[in-house]
């Protein structure tokens, strides 16, 4: 028999080998050389931490006690890997896309990054895992004690063994689990050590199985006969329990923090999952293949009194096969340690991320969570957590005193973490799931589980049964764990499972339906449920090198070919790869991101680089930041658009004003030119004749009188011109005072005709009127109206070219207004000039030579506008026809 010292030496050697493997793997991975590390087989083997010492040794014990029931523990995961492969794949994809660090992170990310939910899941996981870790320690110490009964140091001290094992595991986990904070950096050393342990585990049980079937029994036929005869075959079949345990094991493989760690966090390539889909069930099959033969043989050899959990060791030992026993011992040791290492790693991540660091941040009001200081804090928190988790496990082991009841803790722990299942499945499959629903479901399930299973188990382990448990709190028996809801639970585990998961699921659904998700939750929900729409698969590390091309294309698009080229060349040179593309190292990516950020914004730059290099590690936070930036840019562009529109409008207005000013200036020039002409013409006559008079040479009196007369007339003409100009100016721009009053149209016409010297018999122009129609009383400025009429009549006197000039004045009354037409029998105004006659200084060609500056009609029109009427020329076949329109209105005073 191997001495205790020898056993310790073997253990230390084995652990040293594990350290070595892990160390080499780390180093090779850092150099990018370890191809075997990045293989689906390594991934599958790492999943085998599912088979802990509890299943390694305990399966045989379970077979002795309950027949084939132990198979359910393997059946659940097998069904999940085969039937729910799509769900595993979705979890892996989400974990990658969202940079998930743990199962608690997964749940909290899905429910709007809720810190409360994360802390709840963490708490649940730690509470569930602590007894489980204790179980592993117990199995190791137990196997020690069985194996070595004495040595140089006497009987082994179980407690001392346990604490050494715990400390060693803590050290290992700290060394290989907390080298770096980065989640993306996996733990290749740790994973490879676990893979090695998985092989040892499988080899041990297979060798022992072959030994039992062919060494102890006479081959398979003999073995089957022995099984037939064994009491193992007589175990009662309990369908409900089978179903329950299968479901429980299936839930555990999805929810156990350590399983999540190897399944999702340590996954390097999504395609590895496809291999694990068949290889992991195969592993489980091989592990369980010889359980029954070993149980049967053990039972035959030791009888029902012996501890069947130790048959794996006692059978080869009794038969004197120490080497084989040592291999089995190492297998069990591997099963225990690998589980503890990964569990401690996963739990420490959760503890540090969701409880210690948030608490520390709140305590210190730290502003910059990414500072170096903060990274040290997080790393320290993780290391302390690992030590803490193992210490908890050790503490629980000491408290329980290695009681038999510890064996039940495996299934109890399974049910504890299974409380996460509804929120996990709901979060992945149902967009309507909310944080409130998740918290209610997990919380209620957790409480029921603690009350119905955990506390009674602890009490039983401690050998006490307080009244509060047996009779229920406050004497309410329906609340007692023994009789929940008054049920006489024949199987407390199943009862607790149905109750806790039932209430959990119900509250999860109700809570989700009755609460509204926050925007972040809604977005995360979409990201989880529709993860395949939003992300790229991760195909190992080699994907990153191929990304350099894509990065260059993107950089060229954003920075321009020249700048992008220089950036990449410089980086390649710095990496010593002149002429090629640079490796997308973190340094280079950071630099690239900074450059891009100058053009597209930091969040967008990060998202773009991550999209190419990180294989769709664009989180919702990134997307929200991008959306914010985009919204800002759009805001700016809308503002710019509005501004440029305003500018365009202003420019148009300015152009319009400019054109108006130019036109006005031209009009002013033309007007001044006209005035100059109208003033200089009479002045020319005045000057010429006055000079003649002054020289006084040979001018007779008659001539003298004539010249004086001309000078006089031209002076009057000048005065009239100035009067007209001033009148027009006042009418056009000034305030005209109208002296309105009652006036009869007939009287006004009489006055005008008299003033123009066109009374009947006065002059050449014959006036034809109808006095009856003229008997209209107007409310108007009679003087101004007379002025207009005089102008029209005198125009006819001047310009009517008929042999017998005539003018008809016709009055027509219309609703609300009156119309007075002045029609002469002359040749009229040519069509092309009709539009001009109302302009200042405009005179029809036919009017040339006639006196008048051409302001009369312009003035008349202004007057008529002031009087509320109008003056227009009516084109007709014969004669000139001017139409005066006047409003018929009641006196304002009345």
Partner 1 sequence: MGGRILLIEDEGNIREAIGFILSRAGWEVQGHGNGATAIEAVTRTKPDIIILDIMLPGLSGFEILRALREDADLALLPVLMLTAKGQARDQEAAFEIGANAYLTKPFSNADLLATVARLAQAHVTGDRT
- Side-chain half-sphere of 648: how many Cα atoms within 13 Å? 6
**Contact letters for partner 1, residues 262-291 (x by CB under 8 A):** ------------------------------
Q: Which is nearer to partner 1, 221 or 831 (CB)?
A: 831
- Check binding of 687 to partner 1 (CB under 8 A): yes
Q: Which of 157, 238, 685, 810 binds partner 1 (CB under 8 A)?
A: 685
Q: Which residues make Cβ contacts (< 8 Å) with residue 189, sequence separation at least 6? A: 21, 22, 23, 24, 25, 26, 29, 176
- Check binding of 696 to partner 1 (CB under 8 A): no
Q: Which is nearer to partner 1, 541 or 841 (CB)?
A: 841
Q: Which of 234, 488, 578, 695 binds partner 1 (CB under 8 A)?
A: 695
- DSSP structure class, residue 575: T
Give 818's strand partners: 813, 886
- Check binding of 633 to partner 1 (CB under 8 A): no
Q: Which of 696, 700, 845, 877 binds partner 1 (CB under 8 A)?
A: 845
- Check binding of 716 to partner 1 (CB under 8 A): no
CB of 676 to partner 1, least distance (A): 6
Residue 696: helix, strand or coil by DSSP? coil
User: Which residue reads 């099963």 in tokens?
Assistant: 335
Residue 53 Cα distances to 165, 190, 293, 340, 878, angstroms? 14, 18, 19, 10, 127
User: Which residue reads 């602890």 in tokens?
Assistant: 458
Alpha helices in 352-434 (DSSP H): 357-364, 372-400, 409-418, 421-429
Q: Which residues make Cβ contacts (< 8 Å) with residue 726, sequence separation at least 6? A: none
Q: Which residues make Cβ contacts (< 8 Å) with residue 881, sequence separation at least 6? A: 821, 822, 823, 828, 873, 874, 875
Q: Which stretch binds partner 1 (CB under 8 A): 254-262, 265-273, 340-348, 669-677?
A: 669-677
**Contact letters for partner 1, residues 201-220 (x by CB under 8 A):** --------------------
- Check binding of 684 to partner 1 (CB under 8 A): yes
- Check binding of 715 to partner 1 (CB under 8 A): no
CB of 683 to partner 1, least distance (A): 4
- DSSP structure class, residue 261: I
CB of 832 to partner 1, least distance (A): 14
Give the separation between CA 787 and CA 490, rounded to whole angstroms. 125
Q: Which is nearer to partner 1, 687 or 771 (CB)?
A: 687
Q: Which is nearer to partner 1, 655 or 684 (CB)?
A: 684
Q: Tokens standing for 65?
A: 């006690």
Q: Which of 35, 362, 848, 892 binds partner 1 (CB under 8 A)?
A: 848
- Check binding of 579 to partner 1 (CB under 8 A): no
- The answer to whether 583 touches 548, Cβ cutoff 8 Å, is yes
Residue 711: helix, strand or coil by DSSP? helix
Cα of first residue to Cα of last residue in the chain, in angstroms, is 139
Give the separation between CA 771 and CA 752, rounded to whole angstroms. 15
Give the separation between CA 438 and CA 293, rounded to whole angstroms. 45
Q: Which of 50, 57, 689, 789 binds partner 1 (CB under 8 A)?
A: 689
- Check binding of 698 to partner 1 (CB under 8 A): yes
- Check binding of 688 to partner 1 (CB under 8 A): yes
- Check binding of 692 to partner 1 (CB under 8 A): yes
- Check binding of 714 to partner 1 (CB under 8 A): yes
User: Which residue reads 């069990």 in tokens?
Assistant: 332
Q: Which stretch binds partner 1 (CB under 8 A): 147-155, 192-200, 287-295, 842-850?
A: 842-850
- Check binding of 691 to partner 1 (CB under 8 A): yes
- Check binding of 665 to partner 1 (CB under 8 A): no
- Give the 3-state secondary structure percentages of the chain, helix then strand then coil, rounded to 5: 70, 5, 25
CB of 881 to partner 1, least distance (A): 23
| Size of interface with partner 1, in residues (CB under 8 A) | 25
- The answer to whether 370 touches 109, Cβ cutoff 8 Å, is no
Q: Which of 702, 849, 877, 890 binds partner 1 (CB under 8 A)?
A: 849
Q: In what order do the strands lie in the sheet with 817-824?
A: 766-769, 806-814, 817-824, 881-887, 870-873
CB of 803 to partner 1, least distance (A): 20
**Could you list the residues that contact partner 1 (CB under 8 A)?**
673, 676-677, 680-689, 691-692, 695, 697-698, 710, 713-714, 845-846, 848-849
């Amino acid at each position: 028999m191997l001495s205790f010292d020898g056993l310790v030496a073997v253990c230390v050697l084995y652990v040293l080998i594990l350290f070595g493997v892990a160390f080499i793997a780390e180093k090779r991975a850092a150099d990018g050389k370890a191809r075997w590390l990045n293989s689906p087989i390594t991934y599958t083997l790492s999943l085998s931490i599912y088979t802990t010492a509890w299943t390694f040794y305990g399966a045989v014990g379970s077979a002795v006690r309950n027949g084939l029931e132990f198979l359910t523990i393997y059946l659940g995961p097998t069904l999940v890997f085969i039937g729910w492969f799509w769900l595993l794949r979705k979890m892996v994809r989400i974990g990658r896309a969202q940079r998930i660090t743990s199962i608690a992170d997964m749940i909290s990310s899905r429910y709007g990054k809720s810190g409360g939910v994360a802390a709840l899941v963490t708490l649940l996981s730690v509470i569930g895992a602590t007894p489980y870790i204790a179980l592993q320690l117990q199995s190791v110490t137990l196997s020690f004690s069985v194996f070595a009964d004495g040595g140089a140091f006497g009987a082994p001290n179980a407690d001392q063994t346990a604490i050494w094992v715990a400390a060693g595991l803590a050290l290992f986990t700290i060394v290989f689990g907390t080298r770096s904070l980065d989640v993306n950096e996996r733990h290749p050393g740790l994973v490879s050590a676990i893979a090695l342990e998985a092989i040892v585990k499988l080899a041990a049980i297979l060798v022992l199985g072959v030994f039992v079937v062919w060494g102890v029994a006479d081959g398979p036929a003999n073995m089957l006969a022995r099984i037939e005869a064994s009491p193992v075959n007589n175990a009662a079949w309990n369908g409900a329990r089978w179903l329950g345990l299968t479901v429980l094991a299936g839930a555990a493989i999805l929810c156990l923090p350590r399983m999540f760690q190897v399944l999702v966090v340590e996954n390097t390539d999504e395609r590895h999952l496809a291999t694990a889909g068949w290889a992991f069930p195969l592993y489980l099959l091989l592990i369980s293949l010889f359980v029954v033969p070993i149980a049967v043989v053990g039972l035959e050899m030791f009888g029902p009194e012996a501890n069947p959990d130790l048959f794996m060791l006692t059978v080869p030992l009794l038969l004197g096969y120490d080497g084989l026993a040592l291999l089995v011992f190492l297998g069990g040791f591997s099963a225990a340690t690998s589980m503890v290492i990964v569990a401690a790693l996963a739990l420490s991540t959760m503890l540090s991320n969701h409880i210690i660091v948030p608490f520390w941040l709140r305590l210190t009001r730290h502003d910059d969570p990414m500072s170096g200081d903060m990274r040290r804090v997080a790393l320290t928190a993780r290391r302390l957590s690992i030590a803490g988790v193992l210490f908890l496990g050790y503490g629980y082991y000491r408290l329980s005193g290695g009681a038999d009841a510890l064996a039940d803790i495996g299934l109890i722990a399974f049910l504890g973490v299974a409380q996460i299942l509804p929120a996990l499945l709901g979060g992945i499959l149902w967009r309507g799931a909310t944080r409130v629903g998740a918290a209610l479901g997990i919380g209620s399930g957790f409480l029921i589980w603690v009350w119905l299973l955990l506390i009674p188990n602890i009490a039983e382990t401690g050998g006490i049964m307080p009244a509060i448990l047996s009779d229920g709190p406050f004497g309410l028996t329906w609340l007692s764990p023994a009789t929940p809801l008054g049920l006489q639970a024949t199987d407390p585990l199943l009862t607790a499972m149905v109750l806790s998961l039932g209430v959990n699921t119900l509250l999860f659904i109700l809570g989700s339906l009755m609460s509204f998700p926050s925007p972040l939750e809604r977005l995360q929900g979409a990201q989880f449920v529709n993860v395949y729409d939003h992300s790229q698969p991760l195909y190992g590390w080699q994907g990153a090198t191929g990304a350099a091309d894509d990065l260059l294309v993107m950089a060229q698009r954003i920075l321009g070919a020249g700048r992008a080229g220089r950036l990449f060349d410089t980086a390649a040179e710095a990496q010593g790869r002149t002429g090629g593309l640079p490796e997308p190292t973190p340094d280079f990516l950071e630099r690239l991101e900074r450059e891009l950020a100058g053009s597209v914004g930091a969040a967008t730059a990060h998202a773009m680089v991550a999209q190419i290099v990180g294989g769709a590690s664009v989180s919702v936070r990134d997307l929200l930041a991008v959306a914010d930036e985009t919204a800002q840019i759009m805001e700016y562009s809308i503002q710019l658009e509005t501004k440029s529109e305003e500018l365009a409008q202003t420019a148009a207005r300015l152009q319009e004003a400019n054109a108006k000013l130019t036109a006005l200036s031209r009009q002013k020039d033309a007007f001044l030119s006209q005035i100059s002409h109208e003033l200089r013409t009479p002045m020319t006559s005045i000057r010429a004749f006055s000079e003649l008079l002054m020289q006084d040479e040979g001018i007779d009196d008659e001539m003298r009188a004539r010249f004086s007369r001309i000078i006089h007339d031209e002076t009057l003409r000048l005065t009239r011109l100035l009067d007209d100009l001033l009148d027009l100016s006042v009418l056009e721009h000034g305030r005209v005072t109208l002296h309105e009053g009652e006036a009869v149209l007939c009287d006004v016409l009489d006055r005008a005709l008299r003033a123009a010297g066109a009374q009947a018999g006065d002059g050449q122009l014959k006036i034809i009127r109808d006095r009856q129609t003229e008997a209209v009383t107007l409310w108007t400025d009679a003087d101004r109206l007379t002025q207009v009429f005089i102008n029209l009549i005198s125009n006819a006197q001047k310009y009517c070219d008929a042999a017998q000039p005539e003018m008809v004045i016709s009055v027509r009354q219309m609703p609300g207004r009156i119309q007075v037409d002045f029609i002469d029998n002359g040749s009229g105004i040519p069509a092309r000039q009709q539009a001009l006659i109302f302009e200042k200084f405009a005179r029809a060609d036919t009017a040339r030579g006639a006196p008048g500056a051409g302001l009369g009609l312009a003035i008349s029109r202004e007057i008529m506008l002031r009087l509320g009427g109008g003056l227009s020329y009516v084109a007709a076949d014969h004669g000139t026809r001017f139409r005066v329109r006047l409003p018929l209105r009641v006196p304002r005073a009345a």
